[in-house]
């Protein structure tokens, strides 16, 4: 039987669906009997979901608009020099 | 155009034509992430902002030759990583993405037989909006990502937040897929530990 440490190491692989059927089954057996690991895998799943929740992009502020203008003007200069 | 979808093809054409609204859209989508990835590689936030700025100039200069062999986002981040790395080299910093020498922060949680010393807590109702210690969970996650080493930070931003394919992330960072998965797991462990301390 896998130790809790071994289960914890494989937590991401389990929730990302990267384990073989046999490996996943061994872990699920452990989780059925071990509350600590079951909770830990739940924590990693929540963490994954939170990191994949993308904050809405910030609206452009004045500084951004200035930077965008600077970027675009550099390109115009390059084109004039080139052509 | 290979992997690029129809929307992306249209966006590329608008960028080639120098369309400002199209550029504003893509800038807004990626600029903060570009700076966050670069901040892990170069010495300061100010330098990271410069690197992001240089990246956008290179993107617009070269977008006509973008062939769609990667996603547009993947192409933009590969330009950023190259620029940030050469900037770091000029600063005398060497940044490796293989994560060597970094340990996960969980080793101390187990006894000699690999069992939990303390039972992990049951996290209930951890939503992005929930307030813990005066800040939203989302803000805590963002702050935890800021403290990750460059390799873990790059992997979690590119793979989890910008949604790049695994193989693209590996190519951009020059790491193996196995390595990327280890980095992603370690990043999650670090963020999980930061959140667990607040529960
Ligand atoms: Zn266990």
| A18-77 pLDDT, tens digit each | 999 999 999 999 999 999 999 999 999 999 999 998 777 778 889 899 999 999 888 877
Please report, for chain A, the start and end positions of each structural domain, with discontinuous segments joined by +: 4-80
Task: Name the one residue in this structure whose structure tokens are 């799943």.
Answer: A45
Is residue A10 within 8 A of residue A19, CB to CB? The reply is yes
3-class secondary structure, B131: strand
Nearest partner of B141 among B197, B196, B194, B198, judged by Cα: B194
Q: What residues of A are in the B interface, CB distance below 8 Å? A: 3-6, 8-9, 11-13, 16, 18, 35-37, 39-40, 42-44, 46-48, 50-55, 57-60, 64, 67-68, 70-72, 74-75, 78
Name residue B135's beta-bridge partners.
Answer: B132
Is residue A31 within 8 A of residue A41, CB to CB? The reply is yes
Q: What is the mean pLDDT of each run of 10 residues along chain B (199 residues)?
A: 69 93 94 94 94 96 91 96 95 80 78 95 91 93 93 94 93 94 95 93
Surrounding ion ligand 1 within 5 Å at CB are A 4, 34, 37
| B53-107 pLDDT, tens digit each | 999 999 999 999 998 888 999 999 999 999 999 999 999 988 888 766 666 678 8
Residues in chain B closer than 8 A to A9 (CB atoms): 185
**CATH class given for the domain over B3-90:** mainly alpha
Please report, for chain B, the start and end positions of each structural domain, with discontinuous segments joined by +: 3-90, 104-196
ipTM: 0.89
CATH number of B104-196: 1.10.10.10
Name residue B136's beta-bridge partners.
Answer: B131
Nearest partner of B119 among A64, A43, A24, judged by Cα: A43
User: DSSP per residue over A25-65, as a string?
Assistant: HHHHHHHHH-HHHHHHHHHHHHHHHHHHSPPPPPPP-HHHH
Question: What separation in Å is there between the alpha carbon of B196 and the centre of ligand 1?
Answer: 18
Contact call for B188 and A42, based on CB within 8 A? no
């Amino acid at each position: 039987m896998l130790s809790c440490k071994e289960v914890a190491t494989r937590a991401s692989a389990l929730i990302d669906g990267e384990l073989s059927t046999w490996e996943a089954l061994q872990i699920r057996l452990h989780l059925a009997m071990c509350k600590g690991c079951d909770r830990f895998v739940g924590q990693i799943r929540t963490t994954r979901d939170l990191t994949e929740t993308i904050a809405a992009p910030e609206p452009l502020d004045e500084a951004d608009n200035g930077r965008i203008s600077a970027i675009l003007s550099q390109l115009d200069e390059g084109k004039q020099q080139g052509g | 155009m290979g992997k690029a979808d129809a929307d992306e093809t249209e966006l590329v054409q608008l960028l080639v034509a120098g369309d400002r609204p199209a550029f504003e859209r893509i800038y807004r989508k990626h600029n903060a992430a570009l700076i966050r990835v670069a901040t892990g590689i170069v010495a300061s936030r100010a330098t990271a902002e410069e690197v992001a700025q240089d990246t956008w100039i290179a993107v617009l200069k070269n977008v006509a030759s973008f062939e769609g062999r990667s996603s547009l986002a993947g192409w933009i981040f590969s330009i950023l990583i190259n620029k940030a790395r050469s900037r770091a080299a000029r600063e005398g910093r060497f940044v490796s993405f293989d994560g060597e020498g970094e340990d996960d922060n969980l080793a101390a949680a187990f006894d000699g037989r690999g069992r939990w010393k303390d039972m992990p807590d049951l996290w209930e109702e951890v939503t992005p909006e929930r307030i813990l210690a005066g800040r939203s969970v989302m803000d805590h996650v963002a702050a935890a990502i800021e403290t990750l080493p460059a390799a873990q930070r790059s992997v979690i931003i590119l793979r989890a937040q910008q949604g790049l394919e695994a193989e693209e992330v590996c190519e951009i960072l020059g790491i193996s897929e196995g390595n990327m998965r280890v980095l992603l797991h370690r990043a999650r462990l670090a963020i999980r530990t930061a959140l667990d301390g607040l529960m």
